[in-house]
Amino acid sequence: MENKVLMKGTDALAEAAIQAGCRCYFGYPITPQNELPEYMARRMAEVGGVFLQGESEIASINMVLGAAASGVRAMTSSSSPGISLKQEGISFLAAMELPALIVNIMRGGPGLGNIAPNQGDYYQATRGGGHGDYRTPVFAPASIQELYDITMYAFDVADIYRTPVMILGDGMMGQIVEPTICRKRQKIDLPPKDYILDGAKGRPSRIIRSLILDTFEMEEHNWKLKRKYDLMRGKLPQHEEFMVADAKLVIVAYGTAARIAKGAVKRARKEGLSVGLLRPITLWPFPTQAIQDIAKKVKHFLVFEMSTGQMVDDVLLALGGKADCEFYGRPGGVVPTPMEITRIIGRYWVQKEISG
Amino acid sequence: MKKVFTKPKSLKDAPFHYCPGCGHSIIHRLVAEVIDELGISDCVIGVPPAGCAVLAYNYFDIDMCEAPHGRGCAVATGFKRAQPDKIVFTYQGDGDMAAIGTAETLHAANRGERITAIFVNNAVYGMTGGQMAPTTMIGQKTTTSPFGRHPEVEGYPLLITDLIATLKGPAYVVRHSLATPAKILATKKSIKKAFEMQIKGLGFSLVEVLSPCPTNWKLSAVDAFKFLESRMEKEFPIGVFKDVTKG
């Protein structure tokens, strides 16, 4: 039987990265994710990997770039303001098609904001985030086991598609402690790393670059990336459905908000309201198809986010006007209780005159 | 017949795009000659900057990875930490090294990263069309200091090489000039020594090279080399600032 241990979010993520073969971590301190680099500082020494605290977020992401171009599994982690600083590097990673893992443990914003759990970086994460025409796969786990499993999977996705990948959590996901099975890495067939720079020994020299001055050549590179993103749109979307089968109203929420919403759905069910939950696990690519499938039967959706409303745009896009969709948000680092969300569900149920 | 002069093996058979009289072609050649002489072309990784020399990878026949503007020393750190047995160097201009990349440069130097930085100082932003650089001299006119750099408005030229020499991490910190053939040969000697110190694992090595930019200085190639000696070398004295192999 596999060993189940109590693990904190940040530690689970770090250990999963180690188990996935990550051997280079570069980062800069920022709350609420400091336990992650602290864990890495100890563990990388044990496994003979590299831990280096950069002088800034910018330096750290560029160290990741150098390590990724070396062919090593590399990662960095930060929280909202720090992720803003990393965006230049993430754009370069996307342009150069280099695999890497970037972890954003979101906090309240904009600006310095606060250090409480928040979901205000959804737009930044799912729209590329930096300059230029690119996308980054984004995973939003909602339990520590899922955080562990997705971290391992994220490195494979990065290698398969040669892309930076983001794990989007929040202060709550980083801090909570849950029983977790620390699975070993399942090796899968990965494409050969025939792009890495390790000294041109016995082969022609290689270049890794993002500068493409010829407009037609740049256009072709953009279309090449687009084809890759389309491939990901087909293969990567993941979601969880909870009590959706007979639901008249479906809540859409991710990460910590989805955990709260799940509690609210259970309470609402006890009160006789047929409510379900759709939880996107991938935020980009968004589980658009799943929402459209549900919308064939369900005519009422309620999006709940710990922000003033960002993912709700993707839900509205998916619905295309075919179902009613409302939004409820708590920005600023406020974490509402399931009871509060249950009240919102009840109010919505009455307002919209939903029955059954 | 004995061949006495040839193109270095570490340079591709590609004509330089640099302006007539530009120092980059000379410095590219010096670095390539050193790579050949040390026999490291199959274990060296170069990191060119944003700026005129971004296209260095079109000329060097070695593995090269472009860095975002100013981040050369951070990218090189990633390479070196991931592959400690490789020889890693950055090739950076003054804006890259001493303005936008000051933090990355100073901290890599301070950590004593086993990398070599080739720092080409021509006192202007070349590729963007001759704007004021951190190393633009007092009184020097550029497109963004049209009345001449004034210390009360734009501050003083930043002597980053002198700064780096005060740190404990670097092993070898020198400044050279391309003003005369003798000085060019001295530059090459130091580039070689900088690479050798990296190979020996002694610490960060930096070779600053004062280099002409006739186009943006609005001088002929010949006058630009004269300006290098009469003006730049006064502001940026050439010499060895730190050498851990000398007691």
DSSP string, A195-231: T--S--SSS---EE-----SHHHHHHHHHHHHHHHHH
Per CB-CB distance under 8 Å, the chain A contacts of B102 are none
- A27 to chain B nearest CA, in Å? 12
Contacts of B81 (CB under 8 A, 6+ apart): A24, A50, A52, A63, A66, A67
Q: How far apart are CA A138 and CA A160, in angstroms?
A: 15
Task: Report the side by side order of strands in the sheet with A207-208.
Answer: A207-208, B63-65, B44-47, B87-93, B116-121, B204-210, B170-177, B239-243
- A61 to chain B nearest CA, in Å? 8
DSSP string, A265-334: HHHHHHTT--EEEEEESEEES--HHHHHHHTTT--EEEEEESSSSSHHHHHHHHHTTSSEEEEEE--TT-
Q: Does residue B44 sit at the A interface (CB-CB below 8 Å)?
A: yes
Q: Does residue A44 sit at the B interface (CB-CB below 8 Å)?
A: no
CB contact under 8 A, A24 and B80: no
Q: How far apart are CA B11 and CA A157, in angstroms?
A: 37
Q: Taking CA atoms, what residue in A is nearest to B101?
A: A59
CB contact under 8 A, B66 and A198: no
* Cα–Cα distances in angstroms (integers) from residue A244 to residues A72, A241, A251, A290, B108, in the given order: 42, 6, 9, 11, 54
Evaluate if pTM is beyond 0.80: yes
Per CB-CB distance under 8 Å, the chain A contacts of B107 are 54-55, 59
CB contact under 8 A, A59 and B103: yes
At residue B3, the pLDDT reads 87
DSSP string, B12-79: -S----SPTT-SHHHHHHHHHHHHHHHT-TTSEEEE--SSGGGGGGGTB-SEEE---TT-HHHHHHHH
Of A62, A70, A72, the CB nearest to B74: A62
Of B68, B82, B86, the CB nearest to A50: B82
CB contact under 8 A, A209 and B65: yes
CB contact under 8 A, A199 and B42: yes
- ∠ at Cα A8 (A7, A9), nearest 5°? 115
The number of residues in chain A equals 356
Q: Taking CA atoms, what residue in A is nearest to B87?
A: A199
Q: Does residue A12 sit at the B interface (CB-CB below 8 Å)?
A: no
Q: How far apart are CA B218 and CA A219, in angstroms?
A: 35
Q: How far does chain A reach from its first CA to its final CA, in angstroms?
A: 44
Q: Are B93 and B120 in contact (CB under 8 A)?
A: yes
CB neighbourhood size of A213 (10 A): 8
A170, A48, A92, A285 alpha-carbon torsion, rounded to 10°? -40
Shortest CA distance to B172 belongs to which of B222, B99, B231, B240? B240
Tens place of pLDDT per residue across chain B (247 aa): 888 889 999 999 999 999 999 999 999 999 999 999 999 999 999 999 999 999 999 999 999 999 999 999 999 999 999 999 999 999 999 999 999 999 999 999 999 999 999 999 999 999 999 999 999 999 999 999 999 999 999 999 999 999 999 999 999 999 999 999 999 999 999 999 999 999 999 999 999 999 999 999 999 999 999 999 999 999 999 999 999 999 7
Q: Does residue A21 sit at the B interface (CB-CB below 8 Å)?
A: no
Q: Taking CA atoms, what residue in A is nearest to B113?
A: A52
Specify burial of residue B147 (Cβ count, 10 A radius: 0-12, 13-18, 19+): exposed
Q: Does residue A55 sit at the B interface (CB-CB below 8 Å)?
A: yes
Q: How far apart are CA A145 and CA A142, in angstroms?
A: 9
Q: How far apart are CA B61 and CA B7, in angstroms?
A: 12
Per CB-CB distance under 8 Å, the chain B contacts of A64 are 78
Per CB-CB distance under 8 Å, the chain A contacts of B47 are 66
As beta bridge partners, residue A329 has: A305
Per CB-CB distance under 8 Å, the chain B contacts of A206 are 63-64
Q: How far apart are CA B108 and CA B111, in angstroms?
A: 5
At residue A356, the pLDDT reads 65
Q: What would you report as the CA-atom Rg of chain A, rounded to the nearest whole angstrom? A: 21
Per CB-CB distance under 8 Å, the chain A contacts of B55 are 211
Contacts of A258 (CB under 8 A, 6+ apart): A142, A240, A277, A279
Of B60, B66, B80, the CB nearest to A209: B66
CB contact under 8 A, B42 and A54: no
At residue A1, the pLDDT reads 54
Q: How far apart are CA B87 and CA A64, in angstroms?
A: 18
CB contact under 8 A, A211 and B54: yes
Question: Which amino acid appears at position B224 of this protein?
Answer: A
Cβ contacts from A onto B, under 8 A: 130
Specify burial of residue A342 (Cβ count, 10 A radius: 0-12, 13-18, 19+): buried
Q: Are B174 and B207 in contact (CB under 8 A)?
A: yes
Per CB-CB distance under 8 Å, the chain B contacts of A50 are 81-82
Tens place of pLDDT per residue across chain A (356 aa): 578 999 999 999 999 999 999 999 999 999 999 999 999 999 999 999 999 999 999 999 999 999 999 999 999 999 999 999 999 999 999 999 999 999 999 999 999 999 999 999 999 999 999 999 999 999 999 999 999 999 999 999 999 999 999 999 999 999 999 999 999 999 899 999 999 999 999 999 999 999 999 999 999 999 999 999 999 999 999 999 999 999 999 999 999 999 999 999 999 999 999 999 999 999 999 999 999 999 999 999 999 999 999 999 999 999 999 999 999 999 999 999 999 999 999 999 999 999 86
CB contact under 8 A, B79 and A89: no
CB contact under 8 A, A58 and B74: yes
CB contact under 8 A, A26 and B47: no
Q: How far apart are CA A205 and CA B168, in angstroms?
A: 35
As beta bridge partners, residue B173 has: B206, B242
Shortest CA distance to A347 belongs to which of A310, A302, A290? A302
- B42 to chain A nearest CA, in Å? 4
* Cα–Cα distances in angstroms (integers) from residue A165 to residues A153, A194, B84, in the given order: 10, 20, 26
CB neighbourhood size of B233 (10 A): 17
A76, A79, A81, A86 alpha-carbon torsion, rounded to 10°? 20
Strands A249-252 and B44-47: unpaired
Q: Which run of H or E residues covers position A12?
A: helix A9-19
Task: Look up residue A11 and give its DSSP letter.
Answer: H
Q: Which run of H or E residues covers position B104?
A: helix B102-111
CB contact under 8 A, A50 and B77: no
